[in-house]
């Protein structure tokens, strides 16, 4: 059986374009923000090839993306751009993702891709996660004035944020339809990459949420699936 020899002159531009558009958006259904992060990493890689290697983007070949050049690019990120090991690792993850893609689309480059996938990430120091004490949480929840409409909204927002461990963007994206008011009350959070998770809330938060839903004014002209749970200060 004859072995397929990689076309060492095959340009990378077509595959980079398909990777960013068809693969990430269509096949993997990544969020626009994630795709933008991938695009920025690829843009930096193309800039490095142009400025350091003297290879313009339109002449970059798949064969040029080898282990030694990837390592040189990563070193350049840290030495010339002052990037942290965490940022370096993120750029490497994007390159590895492209390597996996080309290995499937062009199996003759599988060995080539395997060498890139073997590049190890740098160790990063563990992040010191801060936290609030019980008394600090109580003080935070007691800060808004629940006798006012805005204060009630802020109280419920903080309680929901604390109880569900949601990200700020997930709280901002909540609609009234994302709250199941049956017992137990469940909040559906919409996270990164179109992922969702359903989180039951404790009884005190459930009572706050129910009271808030009963008293709030729905956003005019929209259904529950587009009615923000926590509206702006002029709509509460």
Q: What is the pLDDT of residue 2?
A: 43
pLDDT given for residue 81 in this prediction: 94
CA 49 to chain centre: 27
Q: What is the 3-state secondary structure (H, E, C) of 133-184?
A: CHHHHHHHHHCCCCCCHHHHHHHHHHHHHHHHCCCHHHHHCCEHHHEECCCC
pTM score of the predicted model: 0.57
* pLDDT score, position 83: 93
Radius of gyration of the chain (CA): 25
pLDDT value of position 218? 77
Ranges in the chain, pLDDT < 70 = 1-8, 126-129, 220-225, 233-236
User: 3-class DSSP state for residue 196?
Assistant: strand
* Token duo for residue 232: 């702006």
């Amino acid at each position: 059986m004859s072995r397929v020899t990689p076309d060492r002159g095959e340009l990378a531009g077509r595959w980079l374009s398909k990777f960013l558009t068809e693969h990430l958006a269509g096949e993997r259904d990544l969020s626009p923000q994630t795709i933008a992060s991938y695009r920025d990493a690829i843009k930096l890689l193309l800039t490095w090839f142009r400025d350091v290697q003297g290879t313009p983007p339109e002449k970059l070949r798949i064969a040029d993306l080898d282990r030694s050049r990837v390592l040189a690019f990563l070193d350049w990120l840290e030495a010339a751009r002052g990037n942290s090991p965490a940022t370096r690792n993120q750029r490497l993850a994007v390159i590895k993702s492209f390597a996996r893609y080309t290995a499937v689309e062009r199996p003759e480059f599988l060995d080539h891709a395997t060498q890139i996938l073997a590049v190890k990430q740098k160790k990063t120091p563990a992040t010191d996660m801060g936290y609030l004490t019980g008394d600090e949480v109580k003080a935070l929840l007691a800060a808004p004035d629940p006798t006012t409409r805005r204060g009630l909204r802020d109280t419920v927002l903080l309680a929901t944020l604390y109880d569900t461990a949601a990200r700020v963007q997930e709280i901002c994206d909540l609609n009234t339809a994302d709250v199941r008011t049956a017992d137990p009350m469940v909040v559906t959070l919409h996270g990164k990459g179109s992922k969702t998770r359903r989180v039951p809330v404790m009884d005190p938060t459930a009572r706050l949420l129910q009271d808030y839903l009963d008293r709030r004014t729905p956003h005019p002209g929209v259904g529950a699936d587009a009615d923000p749970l926590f509206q702006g200060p002029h709509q509460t």
